[in-house]
Chain A
Amino acid sequence: MQIPLQVKGQTIDAVVGIDLGTTNTLVARMLDGVPHVIPDRHGRVITPSVVSIDEEGAQVVGDEAKVRALMNPSGTLHSVKRFMGRGLADVTDLHHLPYKVVRDDMSEQAAFLVHGRKFLPQEVSAMVLTEAKKRAERSEQLRIRRAVITVPAYFDDAQRQATRDAGRIAGIDVLRIINEPTAAALAYGLDKRKRGTVLVYDLGGGTFDVSLLKLTDGVFKVIATTGNTRLGGDDFDDVLSTLLLDEAQRAQVQGNAQALRALKTAAESAKIALSSESEATITLDLPEVDLQVETTVTRAQYEAAIAPLIDQTMKAVEFVLDEADLDPEDIDEVVCVGGSTRTPSVRARLEQEFDKPPHTELDPDQVVAMGAAIQASVVAGENTDGAVLLDVTPLSIGIETYGGGVTKLIWRNSPIPIRATEGFTTYVDDQTAVSIHVLQGEREMAKDLRSLGRFVLRGIPPMTAGMARVLVEFFIDTNGILKVTAKEMTSGVEASIDVTPTYGLTDEQVEDMILDSIEHAEEDILAHLLADLKTEAGSTIRFSRKALDKQGHLVPEAIRAGVEAAIAGLEEALQGDDKEVIEAAAAVLNENTAPIANAMMDEVLRVTVKGKTIGDVVGNAPRTSAKDIQLG
């Protein structure tokens, strides 16, 4: 971690686009009319969406959190996006996870229990956002207050609100929430053909979207969208990890956080290897469950195993074409977005379906953040002749009717913003309140739909049953977020409305979290940076000690001595308040501890791909171009 000297007058206020992904988070901004992803001071453009929290409650985010996952599996949270705006009942595959998921009574959401403390998905996402923001601020001397944040197109209202709340908790004024495939189209559309029908296939770490857009002279109009918010590269990893172990071995690993974590890392690296190689050999050594495995997986085996997942995505592609009443030959361009589209068989299936190779010129990991940056400059008023986005709502919205049915008020794929009104009345004499249950989804019965919230209209003047005329207005704004207002027409009294989101936070709860978060407090920024730095340094020391203690035997004595010395150096630096000294000492310690972390990784797993070592395959180095990865 490095902190630039704060030179007054040199910091630029920047409006950025942020891709808050299941696995990675990226920040981009416009420079001379061109979007570019902001690297940190080490040149890394990707902040892994991983948060590691140790026993003392200290948090590390990003690459370092990823390294700590092996030592602190139950305290390292990844794929948090899957839990945004979700209840516990929505999350089915908990046994895959090395960390503990519980129900938060206050918000009815799924939350994480780490060393006895509860964290909401919004809070964890806010930590990721804060880290990504800090990295960008430090490397380019920026101050980031305003941003456009992207979400999967198929995110429902609760998931969108949770994302916006995460931004607010991180101290960001969220100008807009935009859909990931739409952002990608924007990034591609800038210097691509100006007219035509484009299909965006967006397979990310944890979510899948497909959107159809019509491009006409700078207007990007979404015709239809569909997706699956629980399908992505994570599932490819899971499928691959089942190939690595037989049934008995899987049972052995079950329930052991450390072994599960190692298995997931092994699967991830094998997956990446198999995008460019025909086979990969994986060596897993898991002493904690008494298991040693060496398996070779061929690309053919892997592709056969993930074929059902790709079939699911192709069904969605057909669905969206059908919805727009178009045939594959009507599509002018196909665009690949999301890291999982590096998988050669995904590209091959798209080429087969549309009879033309999909676009992969822009890095599939970066293209969404780039599009968000373009939109950020438009909504901030910096780019006045920029593109216009006309998007749609992915899911229908309705209200529960008597008998558990549903009346739909806004249909899926309706252009937004959109407004719909519905009249209600009272059932009994002198009734002063009406309760309304708002639902989202396509099924016919209320119980099969996602509950967005229950709204109670109070303050209706007493009158005969059926006389009251309550007009309820549903309004979906440009962010795809629903607002409900109500008025009693006969008396002119505006009925007050209590909004209780089913899965999510009220405005007050978000305010409290904002006040809680250090990031937003009205104190001296330099003092904060110092406090942050000290907490992080303390955490680095604890991690290094633990690594030394448990895994020190893996490395030569000289390295152990180096770590000891570096710990002492950092401890000494922490006595003082000189940021640069602490920062330098922390960097020395990180450098010295790295061989142990690598040795740990090498010890539990080894992926061999024709003479390459794991470092070449897994690597945290940024991949700058999709072409590097693409098959020749």
Chain B
Amino acid sequence: MTSEYSKTSDGFRCDECGGDMAVPLFCDHCGTNYPERRAMGPFTVLGLAERWEQDDDAVEARELTLAARLHPDQWQGRGDRTHKQAQLAWAAVNTALKAVKDPFDRAMTLIESSEEHDDGLLGDSKRDVPQDFLIEQLELQEELESPVSDDRRKALNKQIRRELKELRRQLAGHFEIVDATAHAGAAAGEARIAALRGARSVVSRSRYWRNARQALRARRS
């Protein structure tokens, strides 16, 4: 489910030189780099609807279309300034992809940009993760401080994949509410705040598992 960049009646027109732009990120004529100029958020940079629910294939397709049009290699022959701006514009696309592509990162991007987060309604994030989960993770961390057998590593990898899959499922549940109430304002009230809190807790737990996976990888290198 991707949205298109919102076109004005006369397409994408550069503020700076008035030339036509293929995508509203980088002016083919004067090299103005829009993510920077307009301080665009990650969803705007990628031309995606600002919501958690996304079609992975469509996001990937958008990345490839942008690459074909925008990648700095294609602007190298157009002078140093244009090339530099194209590099910065593409760096902005990469940063946006990092914030949006992975479902857990995307969730965090949305939570942190929500009004409720700004207004301090979500409470202390330190209390997001239940105690028994923390104890379990601490034990795992301790285990990963010493060498791990091949079999154990495989088993752990499998478990981490399973846990992350389950967390992603839970995240979908929370965001069904968050996405639906995105424009409801204060009327959404408690239900939205609870969903955002729930989502943040899921993201925190996913980070522990992802850190465990990193530690597991570091063990073998």
| CB-contact partner of B94 in A218, A315, A416, under 8 A | A416
Within 8 A of B (CB), among A399-429: 414-419
- CB neighbours (8 Å) of A378 from chain B are 73-74
Q: Is A517 an interface residue (CB 8 A)?
A: no
Q: Chain A CB within 10 Å — which of B73, B78, B88, B92 has the most?
A: B73
Question: Does B159 have its Cβ within 8 Å of any Cβ on chain A?
Answer: no
| Chain A residues in 8 Å Cβ range of B218 | 442
Check if B95 sits within 8 Å of A319, measured CB to CB.
no
Do A442 and B221 form a contact, CB below 8 Å, given A217-B64, A419-B95, A477-B87? yes
- Over the window 38-81 of chain B, the binary record of Cβ atoms lying under 8 Å from chain A Cβ atoms (1 yes, 0 no) is 00000000000000000000000000100110011110111000
In the complex, per-residue mask of A212-236: 1 if CB is within 8 Å of any chain B CB, else 0: 0000111101000000000000000
Residues on the B chain within 8 Å of A415, using CB:
94, 97
Whether, in the assembled complex, B90 has its beta carbon less than 8 Å from a beta carbon of chain A, the answer is yes
**Residue numbers in B under 8 Å from A318 (CB-CB):** 220
A478 touches B64 (CB 8 A): no
A 372-406 binary contact with B (CB < 8 Å = 1; else 0): 00010011110010001110000000000000000
A394 to chain B, nearest CB (A): 13
- Taken residue by residue from 94 to 125, chain B's Cβ proximity to chain A (1 for < 8 Å, 0 otherwise) reads as 11011000000000000000000000000000
Closest to B88 in A: A419
Chain B residues with CB under 8 Å of A384's CB are 74
Q: Is B148 an interface residue (CB 8 A)?
A: no
Bound Cα distance from A199 to B163, whole angstroms? 28
Q: Is the CB of B98 within 8 A of A414?
A: yes
B interface size (C-beta, 8 A): 25
Q: Cβ of A176: which chain B residues have Cβ within 8 Å of it?
A: 73, 76
User: Is there a chain B Cβ closer than 8 Å to A175's Cβ?
Assistant: yes
Q: Does A323 contact B (CB under 8 A)?
A: yes
Asked if B91 lies at the interface with its beta carbon under 8 angstroms from chain A, I say: yes
Do the beta carbons of B87 and A478 come within 8 Å of each other?
yes
Chain A: residues with Cβ within 8 Å of the partner, total of 32
A418-B71 in contact (CB<8A): no
B153 to chain A, nearest CB (A): 9
Using Cβ atoms and an 8 Å threshold, which residues of chain A touch B220? 315, 318-319, 322
In the complex, the answer to whether A319 meets B221 with C-beta atoms within 8 Å is yes
Question: How distant is B68 from chain A, measured CB to nearest CB, in Å?
Answer: 6
Chain B residues, Cβ within 8 Å of A218: 68
A475 interface residue (CB < 8 Å to B): yes
Docked CA distance A218–B95 (Å): 23
Question: Quick check: is B217 within 8 A (CB to CB) of the other chain?
Answer: yes
Q: Evaluate contact between B94 and A414: CB separation under 8 angstroms.
A: yes
Q: Is the CB of B73 within 8 A of A419?
A: no
Judged by a CB distance under 8 angstroms, whether B181 is at the interface is no
Report if B204 contacts A (CB, 8 A).
Answer: no
For B67, list chain A residues within 8 Å (CB).
Answer: 219, 221, 388, 390
- Given contacts A388-B68, A388-B71, A379 and B76 within 8 Å (CB-CB): yes
Knowing A219-B68, A478-B72, the reply to whether A322 touches B157 (Cβ < 8 A) is yes
Chain B residues whose CB sits within 8 angstroms of the CB of A219 once the complex forms: 64, 67-68
Which residues of chain B are within 8 angstroms of A379 by Cβ–Cβ distance? 73, 76-77
Cβ A381 vs Cβ B76 within 8 A: yes
| C-alpha spacing A218/B73, complex, angstroms | 14
Q: Which 4 A-B pairs have the closest CB atoms?
A: A381-B77, A379-B76, A419-B91, A417-B91
Known pairs A219-B68, A375-B73. 16 more at Cβ < 8 A? Answer: A175-B76, A176-B76, A216-B64, A217-B64, A221-B67, A325-B161, A378-B73, A378-B74, A388-B73, A415-B94, A415-B97, A416-B94, A418-B91, A418-B94, A419-B92, A478-B73
- Write 7 A-B pairs (CB below 8 A) sorted by A numbering: A319-B220, A378-B73, A381-B74, A388-B67, A389-B73, A418-B95, A419-B95
